[in-house]
Structure 1
Amino acid sequence: MVSGFIRYQFSSYIRSLTFIPPLTIFIGWIILFYTYSGVPIMSSYAVTCISLYLVMTWVAMNVFALEGESEKNLLFVQLPSKKDYLWGKWVVCFLIASILEFIAIVYPLLINSFKETPQLVHISLAIYGHLFFAAFGIIVGSFFSNSKVESKRFAWLSVMLVIAISIAQEGIIEKANIFKWLLLPFPPVSQILRHFTDEALSIGKNFWMDAAWVVFYSFIYLLLITRLFYRKER
């Protein structure tokens, strides 16, 4: 039943045509970005990571907005539990993210855009970065989709504020160290991007500590969103 729901959600998303703007913008941006050859590897992948973050937030909010209240209640009755509804939505989002991630990583390799030949460490970090930036986008999108925000416009403004602050958080912390603690609820974008430099490319202790925090953050927010979802739909 759950696999059938995932197929239903995916086909509903395709039929809604709401996939066209975000996917067209993302793919068009990738093609435009790699118009010129000889670009640095990791900084280029950092840009496409941020692009994926933005687009997957958009996609997640669209996926969670596919049904009205009456249709949602009918699905709740047919599914084994409400949790399957939420996780089905997330699976659809990650399926779409995997397609976009594949395009973002493989396209520049196919057209030889980079000034150097990418090594395994480059590709590994690129996969890791795109995977968790996509996860951040899905987390932000589903968080505001399942919060009791009355105005859709306010939800979108809140999303854009969270994205802007999370991207700029490293610069904000440099201005005043107190923000290091105040910005903990925001996606740890800087903990990934700091490893996307060709000059200091390595996978050592600092990387694994940052990666552990990224995984922990994602896990905690998935639990939090699950709680918000149950509270909203009870």
Structure 2
Amino acid sequence: MKALIKYQILSFFYSLQWIAPLALYVCWLFSQYYYQGMPIQDHFSISSLFLFPFIVWVSMKLGSQETESEKLILLSYSPRKTAFFIGKIIVLWFIGAGFMVFSIAVPFILGGFSEPLSLHHILTFLYRHLAFIGFGIWIGGLFSITRLAGKKYSWLAAALFTSSAIVGEKLFEVLPWYLKGLAFVLPPVSAVEEGVQESWRVLLYIMMSHLLLFVLFQKKERSGE
């Protein structure tokens, strides 16, 4: 398992497919924190929300990194097929943690905080960013690891799903009553914005979405797609 995770990390690193999303995210962070005086909570709220589509981007790249022949070779060396999936998820959380480091390091470099950083601020930072990393892995994995929308429409489906999640509340208001149930399938972005009082809902969604990813991956492998 460790060898598989190490291989996936090194393979993704040497593929250089992480450079574009990371570079754009860091550039955005520098532009965001260039304007000093904004409260820390507002900074963290914006940086975590913008992290969301970048994690979807990385998840799409990592999820579809191997060709079918490479994947078959990796699966043959894995103790079980689920190890391949679990390895992908672990690597994605690891990459997400790397993005978080930049999220907290850039404002320190620029001196962008207008107030002292407290324990409450740090916990808020961790909660918001980890939540959006979980959401991003779910959407990226759904349309890459499981190939739910097929190769042709996977990026379009991921973009629509991500955009719909960000505007979830407004979408819920305009949808006809018989389609409102679709809004509950989307990541609860508004629950993250409401604070830790809705953390149970966020945690439950991340756990259930990752479990569903696992089930869909197994179904895909059994069908031999």
* TM-score with structure 2 setting the length: 0.91
Distance 1:147 1:116 in 2: 45
Runs of 4+ with >4 A deviation: 174-180
For residues 162 and 210 of structure 2, the distance between their equivalents in structure 1, rounded to whole angstroms, comes to 17
Give, in whole Å, the separation in 2 of the partners of 1:111 and 1:121: 21
Deviations 1:162-217, CA, capped at 9 Å, x for gaps: 1111111123335579576431110011100123xxxxxxxxxxx33x11111111
Q: 1:176 to 1:141 in 2, by over 3 A?
A: closer
Question: CA 1:120–1:177 in 2, change beyond 3 Å: closer, same or farther?
Answer: farther
Q: 2:205 aligns with which of 213, 217, 221?
A: 217
Q: Distance in 2 between matches of 1:182 and 1:128?
A: 25
Q: Aligned partners of 1:156 and 1:122: how far apart in 2?
A: 34
Instruction: Specify every segment of 5 or more residues in structure 1 that has no aligned partner in the other structure, as ranges.
Output: 196-206
8 Å CA contact 1:147–1:228 kept in 2: the answer is no
Secondary structure at 2:187 match in 1: coil
- CA distance in structure 1 between the aligned counterparts of 2:192 and 2:90, rounded to whole angstroms: 23
1:194 alignment counterpart: 194
Show the 5 A alignment for 1:160-175: 160-174=159-173
Partner AA of 1:42 in structure 2: Q
* Cα separation, 2, equivalents of 1:69 and 1:87: 18
Partner Cα distance (1:130, 1:96) in 2: 12
Counterpart of 1:149?
A: 149
How far does residue 33 in structure 1 lie from its aligned partner after superposition?
A: 1.2
2:59–2:92 contact (8 Å) kept in structure 1: yes
- One-letter code aligned to 2:51: L
Distance 1:174 1:124 in 2: 32
What is the number of equivalent residue pairs in this alignment?
Answer: 220
For the residue of structure 2 that corresponds to 1:125, the secondary structure is: helix
Indicate which of 209, 214, 219 corresponds to 1:226.
214
Q: Counterparts of 2:182 and 2:59 in 1: how far apart (Å)? A: 26
Maintained 8 Å contact 1:142/1:225: yes
Structure-2 residue corresponding to 1:108:
107
| 1:8-53 Cα deviation digits (max 9, x unpaired) | 1011001111111111111111112111211121122111112211
C-alpha separation in 1, matches of 2:185 and 2:136: 14
> Which residue does 2:27 correspond to in 1?
28
Give the fraction of aligned pairs with identical amino acids, expressed as a percent: 32
Answering whether residue 73 of structure 2 is matched by residue 74 of structure 1, we say: yes
CA-to-partner distance for each residue in 1:79-101, whole Å, 9 max, x for gaps? 01111100101111111110111
Name the SS for the 1:231 alignment partner: helix
State whether residues 105 and 127 of structure 1, in contact with CA within 8 Å, keep that contact through their aligned partners in structure 2.
Answer: no
RMSD: 1.7
The aligned residue for residue 203 of structure 1 is none
CA distance in 2, matches of 1:23, 1:228: 28
Note the residue ranges of structure 2 that are not aligned, 5 or more in a row.
none
1:7 Cα deviation (Å)?
Answer: 0.7
